Every structure is written in C-alpha cells, then in structure tokens.
A and B are shown apart, each in its own frame.
Chain A
C-alpha cells in the first residue's frame, strides 16, 4: 500500500515535469522511493556492487575516495548484475535539479471566479522556497582598519540599546523566543528612559540607516530594509545561504545547563 502511494506520487511528479521525457525522478525522490522500497522488499530484487549500496541509507564518507558513495546510483553500470525477478521495479534517473522552486497552481493561477456565484476574483499566488525566514540583521560596525567604504558602520555605539534600535528600524521577523515582546508591525518606543540615552533619535536613526545602505549597496546587508524607506527590489534581499533543506541540527551547547 505504501508502495502504491509512492508510485502515485512519482507519477504525479513525472507528469508535472514531462519536458525531459525519460527523467521522471529527482534523485532525492528516487533515493526516498528506493529507501522505502528497500524496507518493503528487503533489497532482494537487486544486487548492488560492493561499496555502492547506500541509497537512502545515509552514509558518512569515511574517506575522500569513498565520497562517490554519496552520489546517486548510476544504473547503467549495474546492468549485468541485475537479476530479473517476477516483477522488476522500474527506475529512471533524473539529473539533479538545482535552484529554487517556484510553483503556482490551484486557484492562484489564471483568471478564476470564486464563490458559488463567481463574485470573487482569484489572486495570483506563486509559492517559492527562495526566501526562507530570517531574523533582523545586526549592525555591522567597522572593525579596526575598516571604514564606511568597506560597507560597515563608522558611527556606532557598542551598546545593547544601539543594536536594539538598529534592528527595530528594520522590517523583519520578530524573534518571539528571545524578545520579551514582539510589536505588531509598528515601531514602538517602549522604553523612554533607555531611548534618552541614545545618541540618535528614531527619525535620525532611520535617515542614518538609509544613508549607510546607500554608501555601498553591494556590501551592505542584502536583506536589510529600513522600514520607512521600503524601496528595495526583492532580489537584493535574498541571502543565498538561507536556502536549501533545513536540518534539525543546530543546538548551542551550554544554554540548557541547569544547576
């Protein structure tokens, strides 16, 4: 049953991207399918050559030479070893697909009328994994030997207040786990006493932020946008490091140490 479901899924994907006729699977999907199948079929339908087994079973490269294990299996080289069985499984390898996915469909595409009477026009929607959520960007003060020409801040105060205000001026996700209160979109001056200590007031700060972005846009935060000057193109905000499969890996050691 599980297997049948997988093939339905595979078929769906195959029809979806039928431009390359014989390539129906992404290698990841193939690997996934294989690993499920290997559980169901106990691998007996296929004898893999030594050292090239771990499809789906994630193996850590022990040596550099063994790194090829990590590539998807090339079925062409397997041909002589394939034992025909009563009902062979079918495999085709797809070249790996890279880059971001942009998907549209359903009611988010074309002209459609919603509600039984058709009184409501649909909205266009494109779903993508191009920009994953990011927190606010911290300031980039100039280290020794650097100046504003290097795209960093010369006018900087190494205080919590400065960083708080700098980040509050950005249009970004509030980190509810580590911020005591997350304002609802609008900038707030919650702590007047602290603000009084600031070298910059809010308006000046935004102007200053805007100015510092203009110094050298190529070196500045790609996804930093001053709230009140939201005139940057979307493409300038993409941090390429924030793309790709998410791993459940990060845990800082030492933050959960209790006495």
Chain B
C-alpha cells in the first residue's frame, strides 16, 4: 500500500500480481506510479523490490521472498488522504492478498496523536477475522521515522494489535537515529543509518532502474513482509496470530544495542528478552521458516477486560502517580486469559503539557513497559488522550493474574499538572498454553525457555 509500483520493471514484472492490484488514487486496476521531476513516487517500487525482486537475473538485487508475488495498491498519491481510501486499500482483495505492507501513518512530527478512522478500523478488523480464508491477513507496519522525540504508541496504526510494527536496526547493531520506538513494536529488521546514503537497502527503482539508497523504517517493514511471506510459503496454514508468535519466538537479540544507553535488554516473566527499541530483536528468516514448518496453530484467543479505574486521579508535578488494578484475568469467565499476547492500557488522560507526560505499565510478573515516552515537541494542553489504547508486547507469554501498576509522571523541570480520568486494562491471549504441541528441537531456543516456564506453571 503505497504510491504505486513500477510493475514493468524487469526485476518485478514476472513477480507482479495484476489481479490483486489496484490504483485508488486514479481509480483503475493499474497502480503504475505518477511521474514527478524529483521521482518522489519511487517509494512503493523500492519497497516492492525488497520483497519480490526476481533472483538470478543480473538485475538490481534480489527480494527477500523472490518466489512471492507482489501486488501494488496505489493509495498515497493524491493531495490528501481519506478514510475511504485507507479502508478500501486495507480491505482490498483480502483473499488474494496474504500480507499487506504499509510504510505510512500519522505525521511523525512528534506531536500528533492519531490513528485509523472508523471505516479503516473496520477494514483491519475484518481482514484479521475473515481475510486469507479466515486465517487473517498480516498487516506489517513501519513504526515510523519520528526519531527519539516521537513515540509510535501515538500512531494508532503501528500501535494496533492487528498490525505488526517493525522498527529498524543499522549496520553496527544500533537503532537508526530516525527510529521511533514504542512498546508495541514486535521486532526489527535492517535499514540504513550510516552517514553514507549508499549503504542503504539495494532495491528496484522507477523506470527499470536500481538504487542502493533506500532507507528509513519504511525500508525495514517490507523486509519483514518478505520474511513473513517465507513463513507462509513454509506453512500456509499459519494464522495472523501464529505469525506474531513466530516473530516473538524466533527474533534474535544478536548484538543489537542502544548506543545512548537508555534502553536495556530485559527479560520478561517467562524468559523472553525484549528491548523498547527493537521489540524481541531482529527477524531471523531461517529460524522462522524452520519453526513455521513444524508449527501447530495457537489455541483460541480471548479478550479479558481486567479492570477499570474511572475516578479522577491527579498526576503530581514532581512525583509519580501510581494506580493499581488487581485482576484474576476473568478467571471462571468465558473470556479467561491465562497466557498473554497483547496488553492494552486504554487511557483517558489530560495534562497541561502532553509531551512531558510519561506512562509506564508494570505487569504482575514485574515487566515494566514504557507505554508513552516524553515527546518534547508535543505542547498539547487541551486534548490529552481520550480512551487511547496504549499497547505493549513486552509481556508476551506472561500470566496476567495479579496486580498491574500504571505509573504516570512528568519528565520535566517545569511544573505541570494533569489527571488520569480513566484507565481500563485489556488483556488479550489464550486460556490454554500456546506451545504444548510443539516439539523443542533446540533446548536453548526461546521456544524451549517459554515452554518450560509454562509447564512449570501448569504443575503449580
């Protein structure tokens, strides 16, 4: 879903699926890019090449999933955006298209809080529930290029449970300086961060050309889409949740690190390492394909409304406000969640300066997620957040029963005031342990660690 695809490119033309393509910007079935003098509309072509450029033809590079077919949905190239265009794009041919890759979203100016509107949200939910013959479409999302002054939990597309948001890591294992991080990021892939623009991602460009300068988290998201395509090639019965579980279990910490020393690798309650910048690490296509082949679909998912605090609580200017929700995670109900996938803190908050507010969510097992970081450019003092779902993936696999803590504070020397008006805790996950039917081939694998943790729990 982008600004068009040069489907006449010799490296793409044989891997192009015309049937599943559409041009919403011009309302016709051919998403060929519009010419501009600055070749602005090369973005979709570059992303397409990363996924599906042909192999062994001596042209440009090779796509991550060179046996896949790429469809183009041209939807970014009009002077404005509407809910109608987004919704139609994200719901276009959900049974022909397996994976949707998007490298767009609310403006990354560090002060916007926005997300999918009504029709688009419906399209995503429908894609996840009914797409791909009921297995669910995979929506891959670039977490954003707002840099450290933005937080992708303020981007309702990237922060959604139904999208897999991908951040980037550069050559030496750091995060890219443009990376916008947040607790909803699931994993990372490579993108350019070096001074030399020619050390970017090599891929196809407009009019049959090649480039080595493709960059940004938008270069990272299509790589992930390619890896997920390989997983589906290995096992076409994987559901949208299976893909997220596989991502959690096979992504690698490797030598990824935060050069600024702010965010460290931390182990969650069931032994999974995560980092605020990289999620569960960099995607490992080989490991993911191998595990996909022997994968057994995860048990049904439930949604538990674990508790709500709706009294007004003031956030002190120089201290933390801490709120607690004790929950049995809907035990005894039909919606009981015992093994977590996504957790959402749905919050209504206002403050004299929204950008100075920081929010943390701590699970009963002690895993602390930064669900909102300081955004120095966000000077909103009026709107705050209204029933905004802050999502974290860090507590994946954990048991949700017990006390959840929400910490709200101002990260500033200037006096500020604000109120938490409402906090609802939403738990999403399964009632049954998710990995019992899987064979552990490597005793040091993340699968082995989590499975052992879950088995220990069941004996308790």
A: residues with CB less than 8 A from B are 54, 57-64, 67, 70, 132-141, 143-146, 150-152, 156, 158-160, 163-164, 166-167, 173, 175, 177-180, 219-224, 239-257, 259
Contact = CB atoms under 8 A, between A and B. Distances in A.
B27 A240 contact: yes
Interface string B193-233: 01111000000001110000011111101000000000000
Contacts of B27: 221-223, 239-242
7 contacts: A137-B26, A160-B39, A241-B85, A245-B83, A251-B107, A253-B108, A254-B145
A180 B37 contact: yes
B195 A138 contact: no
B389 interface: yes
Given A222-B27, A222-B28, A246-B80, A146 B105 contact: no
A254 B78 contact: no
Contacts of B122: 61, 67
A191 to B, nearest CB: 11
A138 B78 CA distance: 12
Interface residues of B, number: 88
A259 B218 contact: no
A25 to B, nearest CB: 18
A137 to B, nearest CB: 5
B334 to A, nearest CB: 13
A158 B10 CA distance: 10
Interface in B68-120: 76-86, 88, 103-108, 112, 114-118
Contacts of B129: 64
B185 interface: no
B389 A251 contact: no
B344 interface: yes
Given A158-B6, A259-B197, A138 B26 contact: yes
B287 interface: no
Contact of B103 (A54, A140, A253): A253
Interface stretch (B13-21, B236-244, B288-296, B441-449): B13-21
Given A246-B82, A254-B216, A141 B30 contact: yes
A143 B59 CA distance: 19
Contacts of A146: 18
A158 B30 contact: no
